[in-house]
Structure 1
Amino acid sequence: MKATPKVLVGQRSPKSPWLAVNLSAALPGAGQMYDGAIARGLIIAVAHGSLLAFILWSIFAPEGNTLRGLITLVPLLSLYIFNLWDSHHAAKRGITLDEFSPLRYQSSDPWYPVFLSQVLPGLGHLFLQRAAIGGTLLILGILTAYLANFNPDLLPLMTIIWAAGCGLAYRAAPSRQRQWGWLGLLLAAVIVTRFAISSIPFVVPQQVVQCIVPSESMLPTLEVRDRIFVRPRPLDQPLSVGDIIVFSNPERTPLDQAGDLYNLMVKRVVALPGQRVEIRLGQVWINDTPLAEPYLKDPILYEWGPEIVPNGNLFVLGDNRNKSRDSHIWGFLPRPHVVGNAYKIYWPPQRVQPLP
């Protein structure tokens, strides 16, 4: 008969180290709270959330420093690993040393294969020498995760397979006493957390589009190979003179494909629908008033217009006016071609800055 962990008078009941690790793997700090270290668990949870928020702000906010955000991934990962170790270490305090053997404990604790199944569905069953179901879950988990990269409708199925692998591993593991309530909470956390993380690659492109500056037409504001973030704009959202916009090339993109993320160009809005635009005397005139453009490096060497911008169109020019293929060559830009406003140079590091 296996000996049960001894509990001294006045001591708390022993906790499962691997249940604590499972909880902390799904929700950082939850394992410490399960161990009874409420304050430490809250500190870890807040620190984890704060680092994550700082990373997202640094990368995507106009004023954020992209490189600093990427570097912060190192302390975030370090905190996550510490969170797993600390939750396991704190729970072990409830087990006396003469009863605790790491190898024997992890092989008999039903929560250990559950943790392996959090890493990859099926690993827990393989650890328990259930090769058939373990291999099946492993293949299903990897396959659905791969296919979900192309079809977000598969994300719920992927998270369910992950959670099912954890639940089935717990059921298959030998144990004299089951903790079904904790299993239910853990599976709910696994589903919510993995679905949230897996949705990021699909949610972010709806809010931010990435673009690489293809030419010198926007010098000195934008340099070739600058990587910029673009905030998508619906058709009914107005633009302003001076906005830097990204759009599909009207010379290469049919109107029925307008706004596709191919053949992209970046220019500055110079005139809006109904405005009379003219280029003479080295500068742009809007409704016979010279347009102040402090961002230009050289005066314009050509003349154009005057013409009135038609409804549903824009007049756009590159900041490097004399070396830009833009509206003064191919005409007005139909509004459906516009993808959105460029708002930040996010790479290379020495060029990171917000765009006006």
Structure 2
Amino acid sequence: MNEEVVTEKKTSRWMKELIEWVKTIAFAMILAFLITRVITPAFVVGPSMEPTFHDRDMVIAFRLAYWKDLPKQDDIILFQSSLADDRILIKRVIAREGDELLINGSQLFVNGEEIDESYILEEDFYGNTNITIPDGSVFVMGDNRNRSLDSRNEEIGLIDQEEVIGRVVFRIFPFNQIGTI
């Protein structure tokens, strides 16, 4: 075999190896971008969203869901809380900007219409709220109303659009409940 053919084979192997490394690095960068800018994985902590989600369930939120608009009523969202520990919370949107919200005992009305909430854990929750939701804000509550720190509490209050991280779209743990939300 002549020297020219051997050199060409070595160069060819080296180029193939380099291309594989570039592909792997590019894939890792795209995956990192998706995880940090497009989706957000999060663990549910505590019982506030039972029966929909349980403590230690893992969910995925789509960050770009609200880049043009506020969450819609009934969406489940992740948001940055104003609590001292800056934790991320998961709650259901009950009312959005411009909506008139009335909570009277265990009845909930949005724009004068009683809301059917078949997803809540307990039928009897208590509260008294009468508010028109200001522009750029949403009112959120947990599905386990009597064990939820949510917009009814002044520590949380109304959620500004800037605090919304994304819409919960997928459950990835526990494995027997994997699927879209």
TM-score tier by shorter-chain length is: 0.7 to 0.9
- Asked which structure has the greater RCO (Cα within 8 Å, sep 6+), the reply is 2
* Greater C-alpha radius of gyration: 1
Candidates 36, 46, 49, aligned match of 1:215: 46
Letter in 1 for 2:78: V
Counterpart of 1:71 in structure 2 is none
Counterpart of 2:170 in structure 1 is 344
Candidates 133, 137, 159, aligned match of 1:333: 159
Counterpart of 1:179 in structure 2 is 8
Distance 2:60 2:161 in 1: 20
Alignment of structure 1 residues 34-183 onto 2, 5 Å: 177-179=6-8, 182-183=12-13
Larger strand proportion, structure 1 or 2? Answer: 2
Counterpart of 2:28 in structure 1 is 198
Conserved? CA contact 1:235–1:335, under 8 Å: no
Correspondence 1:309 to 2:129: no
Quote the RMSD (CA, aligned, Å).
Answer: 2.4
Letter in 1 for 2:7: R
Judged with a 3 Å threshold, the aligned counterparts in structure 2 of structure 1 residues 187 and 353 are, in CA distance, closer, same or farther, namely closer
Deviation, structure 1 residue 204? 2.7
Letter in 1 for 2:168: A
Question: Which consecutive unaligned segments of at least 5 residues does structure 1 have?
Answer: 5-173, 254-261
Distance 2:8 2:124 in 1: 76
Letter in 1 for 2:173: W
Deviation, structure 1 residue 175? 8.3
Q: Deviations over 1:31-75 (max 9, x none)?
A: xxxxxxxxxxxxxxxxxxxxxxxxxxxxxxxxxxxxxxxxxxxxx
Number of matched residues? 175
What SS is found at the alignment partner of 1:222?
coil
Deviation, structure 1 residue 313? 1.0
- Using structure 2 for the length normalisation, give the TM-score: 0.85
What SS is found at the alignment partner of 2:152?
helix
Distance 1:310 1:250 in 2: 18
Distance 2:125 2:175 in 1: 34
- Using structure 1 for the length normalisation, give the TM-score: 0.45
Q: Deviations over 1:278-318 (max 9, x none)?
A: 11252210011111211112124312221101111110000
Conserved? CA contact 2:63–2:167, under 8 Å: yes
Larger helix proportion, structure 1 or 2? Answer: 1
Structure 1 runs (4+) deviating above 3 angstroms are none
